[in-house]
């Protein structure tokens, strides 16, 4: 069965088979997503298979480096390469390696230091890179915690395929609405009187390479939704799903040596605080244009 059939609203049989398999034995805690690894730059065969299997089921996996104090360089690029993910998004604010330091003032380029990821503020539900052009959408998102915050910084995670199932089961018209190529626009970013990035318009759900992709942000500023009753209804349903307690919403905080590998699932971040005179939170992010490969 091809995934294109699964996400075709006209093929309910294929969808139901995929849906039942997806929900069967689905992880419902951070512990069920956890894979312990020794050296992230040189995975054993069993470690690699375990990561791929968990990610294939839930589009995300939490990994725990057993002796993080022995890691000399940031492990994200080497780790993702072993999982078949190599097409790095060298986004603005990231370093030359593509890594972003999600810490206060951690942007590699000064103008971006005031953007929310580089501050201590709370971040609502979103997928990464929703402002990218449609042909350069972020497929994989990985995090690594070098030092946790003194307080706060917890994440919520929701597999976008689960969000799709919830919406389609409630009303398939929600999916049709969110697949409209003109449903969501991120307005242009201006640099003075010059356009630094043009408007980005595209769907919320799309199928890329046979896989479901989601482009979304819950923000209420710097966003323009298509004005229609159908869009309002779909948005209200998704907001309710994301904000209603559910075993499918995974909660936790990344501590030193812990990290996340995902196919860019929906996620949040609580606000965090560091001690005024103490060390600051150091969390690193890598975005890529390709997905974690199947086992």
Dihedral sign for Cα 102, 188, 208, 95, please: negative
The pLDDT of 201-222, averaged and rounded, is: 95
Residue 97: count other Cβ atoms within 10 Å of its Cβ.
15
Q: Which two tokens stand for residue 214?
A: 């989601």
Where helices occur in the chain by DSSP H, the ranges are 3-6, 12-23, 30-33, 45-58, 76-81, 160-170, 172-178, 229-243
Q: Residue 113 carries which DSSP code?
A: T
pLDDT bucket at 141, cuts 50 / 70 / 90? very high
pLDDT tens digit sequence for 237-259: 999 999 999 999 999 999 999 99
Instruction: State the chain's mean pLDDT as an integer.
Output: 91
pLDDT bucket at 111, cuts 50 / 70 / 90? low
What is the per-residue pLDDT for 1? 37
pLDDT bucket at 145, cuts 50 / 70 / 90? very high
Three-state DSSP class for residue 218: coil
Q: Which domains does the chain have, with CATH numbers?
A: 3-157+244-288 (3.60.130.10)
What is the per-residue pLDDT for 94? 76
């Amino acid at each position: 069965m091809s995934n294109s059939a699964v996400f075709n609203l006209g093929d309910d049989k294929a969808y139901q088979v995929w849906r039942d398999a997806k929900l069967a034995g689905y992880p419902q805690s951070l512990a069920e997503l956890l894979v312990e690894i020794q050296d992230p730059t040189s995975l054993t065969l069993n470690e690699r298979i375990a990561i791929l299997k968990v990610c294939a089921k839930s589009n995300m996996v939490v990994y725990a480096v057993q002796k993080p104090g022995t890691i000399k360089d940031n492990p994200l690029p080497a780790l993702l390469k072993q999982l078949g993910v190599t097409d790095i998004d060298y986004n603005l604010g990231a370093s030359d390696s593509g890594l972003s330091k999600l810490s206060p003032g951690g942007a590699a380029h000064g103008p971006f230091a005031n953007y929310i990821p580089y501050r201590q503020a709370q971040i609502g539900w979103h997928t990464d890179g929703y402002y990218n052009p449609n042909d350069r959408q972020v497929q994989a998102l990985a995090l690594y915690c070098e030092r946790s915050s003194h307080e706060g910084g917890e994440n919520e995670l929701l597999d976008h395929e689960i969000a799709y199932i919830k919406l389609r089961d409630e009303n398939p018209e929600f999916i049709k609405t969110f697949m409209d190529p003109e449903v969501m626009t991120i307005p242009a970013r201006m640099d003075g009187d010059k356009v630094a990035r043009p408007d980005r318009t595209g769907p919320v759900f799309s199928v890329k390479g046979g896989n479901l992709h989601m482009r979304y942000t819950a923000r209420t500023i710097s966003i323009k939704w298509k004005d229609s009753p159908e869009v309002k209804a779909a948005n209200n349903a998704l907001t309710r799903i994301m904000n209603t307690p559910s075993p499918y919403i995974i909660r936790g905080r990344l501590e030193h040596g812990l990290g996340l590998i995902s196919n860019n699932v929906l996620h949040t971040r609580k606000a965090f605080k560091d001690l005024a005179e103490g060390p600051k939170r150091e969390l690193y992010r890598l975005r890529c244009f390709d997905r974690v490969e199947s086992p």
